[in-house]
Chains A and B, each alone.
Chain A
Amino acid sequence: MMSTMDQPSSHPTPTAKSRIPLGRAAFLGTIAAGVVGVAALSRVGGNIGGSLADLGSAVGAGSIVPSGGWRIYNVQDPMPTFDPASYTLTINGNVEQPVTLNWQAVQATPMTTEITDFHCVTGWSVDKVHWKGITAKTIIDLVKPRPSAQHINFQSLEQPYFDQLTMKQFVLPQVMLAVEMDGTPLTRAHGAPMRLVIPQMYGYKGVKWLSTITFEDTPTRGYWETRGYDEDAWVGHTHTAAA
C-alpha cells in the first residue's frame, strides 16, 4: 500500500486554452544552444579569443579565458620575465660536455621548424601550431650524455616547476626546445624565451621558461606527477584509467 507521503498533492494543470509549452521551449532551447555552441565555437576556433582574453586578464581570470585557442597556466605568479642580457640555458648532469649558453649562443644554435597539434590535459587542443627550435639531437650532440643518463630533467625559471622525459621520449620526432611559435618569438605567457615541445604528450610535460636541462641516471617525478598526474602523458593513452 502506498503511504500518504508517496502520493504527491494534486497539481492541476490549467485549461488547455491558456497553456504555452514554456518548459519544453526553455529545456530544448538550452540544449540546442549548447549543441550549436560547440559547433560554432569549433568552427570559429580561437579567432574570438583575443578580446575575451584581455577581459579575462582584466578581471584576474586570464588563465582560464582562451586566447587564440590557448589557455595559459602557471603555478607561480608573476610569470618569469625574459631578459636577453641575463638569460642562460644550462645543460649539465651526466654528460661529457656540460654547457651554459647565453641568449646569443642559443640563437646561434641550428634550429628546425615543425607543425604539430597541441593537446592540454584539461580537454582543449590547438591544431597546427608552427614551432621553431632546437632539436633533441642537436642538444645530445652538443653535450654528449653518457650511456647511463637515460632521464632528462627540464627545470623552469618558474620555481618549482620541472618535468622529466626519458631519453627515448626526448628523441621522438618533432620534440624540440622551441623559441618561436606561429612565426614570432615565444611570448611571456607561452614560456619565453624557450619551452619544451613534445606533441605526443599533454602540455604539462612541455616545460615553459626553460632554464636548465639535466641528464640523470635515475628518474624524478615532475611537478604535476607528484600531484597525481601521469608520468607518461601520452595523448590518447594516458589519463584515461580514472575516467
Chain B
Amino acid sequence: MPGLDTPTPLPPKQPRLIRRFSRAQLAAHLLVAVTFFVMLWTGLALYFPPLAEIMNRPLAKQWHLYASVALGIGLVVLILLKPRDFGIVVREVDTLDRADREWLRGGPRRLFSHVGAPEQGWLNAGQKLNTAVTLGLLVVLTFTGILLWLGERNTAWRFTGTVGVHDIATLLIIILVSGHLYLALFNPSTRAAARGIVTGSVDREWAEANHGRWVRDSEKQDR
C-alpha cells in the first residue's frame, strides 16, 4: 500500500530560540542603561555633599553632561539608522489592546505570575507603560537639566521648581529602574526575558508561555 513504506513526515523542528530584539534596539537599550547609571552616579555626587568627597565636582559634572549628550545623540543616530526598528517600538508601546486591558485589570500580581494572564503580544502592558513613562521622565530630566545648566550662567534661568522636579523625576526613574532590574534579574517568571535584551533572542518556550500572540503572529508572517 502506498504510504506504508513512507515515514510520516515530522513537523519541522523549531529552533530553541526566537529573536525578539534587533541589534539597533539592543544598542539603544544598552546606551540608555549605561548613560543612565553614569548620570545617576555623577548626579548623586553633585547632589549629596558627602559623595563629593569621593568624586570631585568638576569631574562629576563633566561626566554627567557628557553622558546626557551621548544619550541624546546616540538615540538620534540609532533612530536615523534604523527608523523601522524604532517605529515598531513606538507603535507597540503606543497601543493598548484588549489583552493589555485584561493584563492591567489583573494588577500587580501579573508582574509576579503569568498564571491566568491573557495571551500577550510582543510587550505586555506593564512593559509598555514602563517604556513610555521612563522615556517621558528622561525628557523631563533633560528639560530641567538644561534649565539648571542655564541657571549656572544666568540666574534669571533659576526657578524654584527646577531642582525639585529634577529630584522627583530622578526618584521616580530610580524606582522604575529598580523594579525593571528586579523583574529582569530575579523574578522567576520574568527573568528569562533578560536574555533577550542582551543577545536579542529569548527561549521559545518562555516566549510561547508569556508572549504567545507575538510568537504565533511572527511565525504566520515568516511563512
Contact = CB atoms under 8 A, between A and B. Distances in A.
Interface stretch (B4-12, B144-152, B178-186): B144-152
A15 to B, nearest CB: 8
Interface residues of B, number: 79
Contacts of A9: 18-20, 122, 214, 218
A228 B58 CA distance: 6
Contact of B152 (A8, A14, A34, A240): A240
A64 B96 contact: no
A108 interface: no
A192 B165 CA distance: 30
Given A123-B151, A236-B154, A41 B160 contact: yes
A6 to B, nearest CB: 6
A37 to B, nearest CB: 4
Interface residues of A, number: 61
Nearest to A235: B155
Nearest to B134: A30
Contact of B61 (A6, A22, A33, A243): A243
Interface in A222-243: 224, 227-229, 235-236, 239-243
B163 A122 contact: yes
Nearest to A11: B122
Contact of A122 (B46, B50, B91, B92): B46
A43 B161 CA distance: 8
A39 interface: yes
A69 interface: yes
A176 B139 CA distance: 41
Given A19-B95, A224-B52, A38 B147 contact: yes
Nearest to B164: A41
13 contacts: A20-B95, A23-B128, A23-B132, A27-B132, A34-B139, A34-B144, A35-B140, A35-B143, A37-B161, A42-B159, A42-B161, A73-B49, A124-B163
Interface of B: 18-25, 46-50, 52-53, 56-59, 61-62, 64-65, 82, 84-85, 88, 90-100, 121-122, 125, 128-129, 131-133, 135-137, 139-140, 143-144, 147-149, 151-155, 158-169, 200, 214, 217-218, 221-222
Interface of A: 4-14, 18-31, 33-35, 37-43, 45-46, 63-64, 66, 69, 73, 75, 117, 119, 121-125, 224, 227-229, 235-236, 239-243
| For the complex of A and B, 10 pairs with smallest distance between CB atoms | A30-B136, A228-B56, A41-B161, A34-B140, A22-B96, A23-B93, A26-B132, A14-B97, A23-B94, A42-B161
Given A38-B144, A123-B158, 15 more contacts: A8-B88, A11-B88, A12-B121, A12-B214, A14-B95, A19-B95, A24-B132, A34-B165, A38-B143, A41-B159, A41-B161, A41-B164, A43-B161, A228-B56, A239-B57
